[in-house]
């Protein structure tokens, strides 16, 4: 299981005031709103989530790096678990038009507001039950989704990710921590996270569920 952090540069450029996140608003109420995965989470006020999640091209260099690293070939079939508005899939499609891209997300709002280039191949659903046959995809990835699942849902979600991917070309990116400061920052900042593990715990857990892909982490430094 290799550790690959494609989002490291993007994350380090994001400035966060962790204490403000807790002090200025009723964070518990904000988390309740965010967990509905609706307009407030995507395009509402910042305390509920993204504060406006709009296409701005920032995913293009990440898409290029992912496609290059995994040596994705023309005509490959790709799945994004937790695709949101499908921006990363859109960028992959722009780079390599022959790709067949698919996505699934629990948020109907996110899918309804996806880019037209990919919307027809996005479905609303849960990571623990994917509506595709075994060995269907050449590359499967998920960014910032599996930590939003409860512990009792993780095994099914991991096994589903394994089932639909025909190769070990898989990448799972999740929020985690390496020390007590990052753990505290994660607790301050998160709105939808349900599963809190440090990096070693995540690796151990994924090994128990026989995950064979790569792993990436989001840290709150």
| Per-residue confidence (pLDDT) for residue 86, from 0 to 100 | 97
Q: CA nearest 94: which of 71, 115, 110?
A: 115
What average pLDDT values come out for the chain (221 residues) when binned by 10 residues?
88 73 88 97 95 94 97 97 98 98 98 96 98 98 97 96 96 97 94 96 96 96 88
Continuous segment of H or E residues that includes residue 27: helix 27-34
Residue 136 pLDDT:
98
3-state secondary structure 98-156: CCEEEEEECCHHHHHCCCCCCHHHEEECCCCCCCCCCCCECEEEEECCHHHCCHHHHHH
Q: What is the pLDDT of residue 18?
A: 81
Q: Give the pLDDT of residue 177.
A: 97
- pLDDT (0 to 100) of residue 22: 79
Structure tokens at 100: 């067949």
Position 41 scores a pLDDT of 97
Which residue, 172, 86, 100, is CA-closest to 136?
100
Cβ pair 45, 51 in contact under 8 A: yes
Q: How much is the pLDDT for 17? A: 82
Per-residue confidence (pLDDT) for residue 13, from 0 to 100: 60
What is residue 12's predicted lDDT score, i.e. its pLDDT? 62
Distance CA 88, CA 55 (A): 10
Q: Are 142 and 82 in contact (CB under 8 A)?
A: yes
Q: Supply the pTM of this predicted model.
A: 0.94
Domains and CATH numbers, the chain: 8-16+55-218 (3.40.50.150)
């Amino acid at each position: 299981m290799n550790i690959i952090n494609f989002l490291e540069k993007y994350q380090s450029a994001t400035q966060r005031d962790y204490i403000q996140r807790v002090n200025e608003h009723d964070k518990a109420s904000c988390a309740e709103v965010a967990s509905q995965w609706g307009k407030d989470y995507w395009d509402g006020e910042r305390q509920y989530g993204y504060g406006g999640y709009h296409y701005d091209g920032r995913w293009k260099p990440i898409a290029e790096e992912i496609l290059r690293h995994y040596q994705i070939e023309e005509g490959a079939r790709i799945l994004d678990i937790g695709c949101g508005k499908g921006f990363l899939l859109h960028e992959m499609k722009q780079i390599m038009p022959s790709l067949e891209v698919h996505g699934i997300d629990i948020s109907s709002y996110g899918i309804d507001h996806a880019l037209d280039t990919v919307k027809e191949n996005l479905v609303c659903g849960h990571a623990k039950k994917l509506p595709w046959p075994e060995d269907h995809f050449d590359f499967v990835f998920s960014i910032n989704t599996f930590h939003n699942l409860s512990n009792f849902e993780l095994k099914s979600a991991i096994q589903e990710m394994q089932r639909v991917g025909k190769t070990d070309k898989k990448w799972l990116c999740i929020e985690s921590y390496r020390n007590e400061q990052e753990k505290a920052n994660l607790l301050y900042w998160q709105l939808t996270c349900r599963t809190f593990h440090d990096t070693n715990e995540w690796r151990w857990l994924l090994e128990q569920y026989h995950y064979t892909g790569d792993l990436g982490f989001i840290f709150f430094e």
